[in-house]
Amino acid sequence: MDNDQNIFSPESQEENNKPKTTVSYDDSSILSLSWYEHIQQRPGMYIGKLGDGTNSDDGIYVLLKEVIDNSIDEYMMGYGNQIIVDVDEHTATVRDFGRGIPLGSVVDVASKMNTGGKFKEGAFTQTVGLNGVGIKAVNALSTSFEIASFRDGECKRARFSLGQLVEESSIEPTEEANGTVVTFTPSPDIFRDYAFRDEFIVPLLKNYTFLNTGLKIVFNSKTYISRHGLEDLLKENLTQEPLYPVIHFKGPNIEVAITHVNQYGEEYYSFVNSQHTTQGGTHLTAFKEAVSRTMKDYFGRNFEYSDIRNGMVAAIAVNVVDPVFESQTKTRLGSRDMRPEGPTIAKYISDFIRKELDNYLHRDLEVADIILKKVQDSERARKAMAGVAKKARETAKKVSLYNRKLNDCRVHLSDSRGNEEKKNATSIFITEGDSAGGSIEKVRDVETQAVFKLRGKPLNTYGATQKELYTNEEFSLLQAALNIEDGLDGLRYNKVIIATDADVDGMHIRLLMLTFFLQFFPDLIKKGHVYVLQTPLFRVRNKKTAKRSGKVRKADTPDDTVYCYTDEERINAIARFGSNAEITRFKGLGEISPDEFRGFIGEDMRIDRVSLRKEDGVAEVLEFYMGKNTMERQNFIIDNLVVEDDSHIDQ
């Protein structure tokens, strides 16, 4: 604003009073939507983002979870110890063996908002589904939704399409065992080009079994069951050997598992009523505080809580009556109390941890000694780098991080707590130099997409210390940009996207970046925040239609231009255009014009999520590829060397 302008002047007030639009606003502007129309027009309010099934938090998995949650609630109430889940690319079926929906209410529970059996005390306690919305969202967003209930030799069925009742049966006799079966096909118009993927469904189902010991889930004929609860969960997710056996406690409405590994940072898995609260909440905050304080008191030393928790991998699950979540997708708990007129969550967890963990440490002195050594090592490392870290933070401010290295977006996670759509939308591209970064900066969504530009090849951080990390300008500034120096709680972007050239140097930089995250922030990968941007290797154009007066049209269509991400796509495109095919090989992101780049980082952006699993053997892989230059590795490179032949490319 001009400093000379008086915002209280008559002229400015007259300007502010001018209408901002000429569109009429009258009674016809007021709409009253049906329940299913509201869900269809505002799906983000109910299921978060839509997606196409290529990410674990995409909407189709939320729909599946909403259906399974109802079956889990039956199990938690003591009815049915098996759930059958059958899923193909586009359709899912969930069959439980609980009590079954009361037959006269089958249609209502699937199609009337705020209708269900969880509002009245007694029928359900400590459930996940509370507001009678979830199953309706599945119905409204599915082209086909079928529900059937079996109760005491009788059956009732109903079929819907996009929330509207298509067919309803009368109550009929049946020989089926009690329970409910739901089959749904998400709408391809809402979830574009979607497909269910086992890689995201299996972890979801395993978590259900870890949290409900003895529950058998049969997924596409494969059975999953857990006998040791959260202890099994930690063992499933650990990517390094624990320093001591998993400490496992279970009490009324609470279960915890704790261990330490030789890695930086902390790693937690938290649950409420079988719901995976990926954003934590009041229960996780109380747990971290209680564990830290109990260990500090046991050792009788003035340890920093961060030193006690460094390298800790832990899980907590609590059952809460009428839990309050901060969004419909239930990723963060906001409840203060375990139950109405009961103890606070903080006190309940604190009392449990203080008693059980303190007793354990006094009983198992060998484990206590291992933990003490780990805490002391963390303390020494922190003190050794304290001055370096402080200097690095000061340097980050002095070099004008947000001007020189980071072109930020307007929305940050810290500014949008509770707004799930904004959280999910934020991303940062880590680019290879100014050329690639410049192309992305020109066409990015300034609201949600940020750009961090690397300078040259980053440090190989394999075997490096945190002190070395802070003395390296690139990684020190990157940590500041992501705001992860003190853990993931302050992470400013939901997606961290590595965007490097499709050549040898670009691949090398990508590997160096992945090594950095794997070594120092493995939980950033485990929680699904790290991605690799896929950009086309080739552009194949029809020379007759794609050029006008020697210039490429801004809005080329698949009829005249095809962007190819693989050799197979390139061959198919050449076959389509025949002798008129003109082929360009993109070796660097900077070679792609901003107009072309716009489509590669928009809604249809191709990104591959980086995963980290126990069976990946990451420690061994990193040592082989990023460790010392051994003769074994040299021979491997020679034996697998591929020379790219660009002789066929017409530039």
pLDDT in tens, 93-148: 999 999 999 999 999 999 987 655 554 554 445 555 544 578 999 999 999 999 99
Kindly state the percentage of the chain with pLDDT values over 90: 47
Segment 304-336, tens digit of pLDDT:
999 999 999 999 999 998 888 876 667 889 889
The topology under which CATH files domain 44-224 is Heat Shock Protein 90 (3.30.565)
Q: Give yes or no for residue 19 having a pLDDT over 70.
A: no
Secondary structure (3-state) at 237: helix
The DSSP secondary-structure symbol of 348 reads H
- Asked if residues 379 and 303 have their Cβ atoms less than 8 Å apart, the reply is yes
Residue range(s) occupied by CATH 3.40.50.670 in the chain:
399-535+608-639
The contacts found for 273-276 with CB under 8 angstroms, 24 or more apart, are 273/76, 273/126, 273/127, 273/128, 273/318, 273/319, 273/320, 273/323, 274/69, 274/72, 274/76, 274/128, 274/207, 274/208, 274/211, 274/212, 274/317, 275/69, 275/128, 275/325, 275/330, 276/204, 276/207, 276/331
Q: Enter the pTM of the model.
A: 0.79
Secondary structure (3-state) at 255: strand
Task: Outline where DSSP puts E strands in 48-163.
Answer: 82-87, 92-96, 142-151, 154-161
Secondary structure (3-state) at 282: helix
Q: Give yes or no for residue 413 having a pLDDT over 50.
A: no
Whole-angstrom distance, CA of residue 611 vs CA of residue 498 = 14
DSSP state string for 578-620: GGGEEEEE--SGGGS-HHHHHHHSSTT--EEE----GGG-HHH
Residue range(s) occupied by CATH 3.30.230.10 in the chain:
241-382
Query: What residue has token string 């000061």?
Result: 394
CA distances from 239 to 74, 259, 339, 615 (A): 33, 13, 36, 8
Residue range(s) occupied by CATH 3.30.565.10 in the chain:
44-224
Q: Give the pLDDT mean for 51-73.
A: 91
Whole-angstrom distance, CA of residue 530 vs CA of residue 447 = 20
Does domain 399-535+608-639 correspond to CATH entry 3.40.50.670? yes
Could you tell me the two tokens for 569?
């796509």
Does domain 241-382 correspond to CATH entry 3.30.230.10? yes
In the chain, % helix, strand, coil (3-state, to 5) comes to: 40, 20, 40
What's the pLDDT at 588? 78
pLDDT class of 293 with cuts at 50, 70, 90? very high
What's the pLDDT at 543? 84
Helix (H) or strand (E) holding 635: helix 631-639
Q: Give yes or no for residue 458 having a pLDDT over 80.
A: yes
When mean pLDDT is compared over 131-140, 180-189, 426-435, the highest value belongs to 180-189
Could you tell me the two tokens for 540?
């194949």
Beta bridge partners of 344: 337
Angle between helices 198-211 and 230-237 (to 10 degrees): 150
What's the pLDDT at 114? 61
Beta bridge partners of 312: 260
Whole-angstrom distance, CA of residue 162 vs CA of residue 169 = 19
- Asked if residues 160 and 40 have their Cβ atoms less than 8 Å apart, the reply is no
The residue type of 411 is: V
- Asked if residues 494 and 580 have their Cβ atoms less than 8 Å apart, the reply is no
